[in-house]
Amino acid sequence: MVTRQEDLWLSLVDEPIGAIVSELEAEEPELQALVATPEKLLAFRTFANIRVGIVLGRLLMEEEVDGYDGSETWVQALLRNPKHREEIAAEVHAVAQELADEDGESPGPDEAARERFQEFARRELG
Q: Is the pTM of this model over 0.75?
A: no
Can you give the residue ranges of every domain in the chain? Answer: 12-125
Ordered alpha helix ranges (H), the chain: 5-8, 17-27, 29-34, 38-62, 74-79, 82-101, 111-125
Residue 34 contacts by C-beta under 8 Å, 6 or more apart in sequence?
A: 40, 44, 96, 97, 99, 100
State pLDDT tens for residues 104-119: 555 556 788 888 888 8
State pLDDT tens for residues 67-83: 777 788 888 889 999 99
What are the 10-residue block averages of pLDDT along the chain, 126 residues in total?
47 70 90 87 91 92 81 87 95 93 64 85 82
CB 117 within 8 A of CB 109: yes
